[in-house]
Amino acid sequence: VSEGFAAMDMEPAVLVAAVIVILSIVFLVSMRGGGGGKPRGAKFLNKSRQTVTLGERTNISHDTVRFRFVLPDATPVLGLPVGKHFKLFAPAPKGVVDGQWNGRDDPEDGEKEIERKYTPTTSDDEVGYVDLVIKVYKGGVIDRFPDGGKMSQYMDSLKVGDTMDIQGPIGMHEYLGAGRFKSGSKELACKRLGMMAGGTGITPMLQVMAAILKDPSDKTQISLLYANQTESDILVRDMLDELAAKHASRLKVHYTLDRPPAGWKFSSGFITEEMISEHLPPPADDTLVLMCGPPPMIKFACIANLDKLGYSKKSYVAF
């Protein structure tokens, strides 16, 4: 991912140590209620390295855990602008084979710790905590990936009361509201927002999507094209479908799978020109396309096809 915005460990193939950050129940309640007032309190993130404490962990499924990290009373607001992310740090593990991780040379071999960038979907409307829902990639489940995911397995070992170091905000992109984005030194504006995500790349899309949909004054139209390998790999599908049903005039969601099941009603295969033409807004001065996913997908399936369809380079951003 070009800017490191995706919430993934960047391990080989499907066994990235990925963070799947989803909206908390409190956030969904605020969405159903049309938003909420701005919280009061000092902001926690200040670009320096700090510590958060695990206050609660809940098993969502056999391989997914929600972690609630508690923020200090003195700084109860996370302070993460929409579109930004933060880093978490953990001790560096050793692979099954010395100097390797999942059968390849480990670029972090010899390091004392690892760090990964994550994009939460919880916003500053949630005071006193930040929720991360992690899909744990355990070693030994697939023969080709004997080591699994580094960060996800470390987080799975955490117990309530344990701490992690965090640093942020970081990142080049920020959603300013009302269809306006800041990307580096540039400000971009749109009325129609296309999104293409692959796997864990849904995380920053959810963050921006949630900010738009909970603001009734934000009239930005959103279209999401979400690619995965199998139907079971579709992350937070229930939430996406619920949001699409609730905000039918503002959000359209379409899926494509490499290996679809029988009777699959959506698209099959990699993202194509035809999929983009059918499911994303056409190229125009008021159209912007956001992308997040594995680098090959971004390069060959997203950018290459956007260029073929006549989207200007200033009209798309890779997170």
Catalytic residue numbers, as ranges: 85, 118-119, 292
Structure tokens at 163: 């701490």
Question: Is 151 in a helix, a strand, or coil?
Answer: helix
Inter-residue contact 226 to 267 (CB < 8 Å): no
Which residue reads 């009061």 in tokens? 40
Structure tokens at 40: 């009061």
118 is in an annotated binding site: yes
Which residue reads 């096809």 in tokens? 305
Side-chain half-sphere of 196: how many Cα atoms within 13 Å?
Answer: 31
What type of residue is 264?
W
259 is in an annotated binding site: no
CA distance linking residue 126 with residue 19, whole number of Å: 19
Side-chain half-sphere of 90: how many Cα atoms within 13 Å?
Answer: 19
116 is in an annotated binding site: yes
151 is in an annotated binding site: yes
Helix (H), strand (E) at residue 288: strand 287-292
133 is in an annotated binding site: yes
Best CA proximity match to 289, nearest among 174, 184, 192, 183: 192
What type of residue is 211?
A
**Annotation: binding site:** 116, 118, 133, 135, 150-152, 203
**Annotation: binding site for FAD:** 116, 118, 133, 135, 150-152, 203
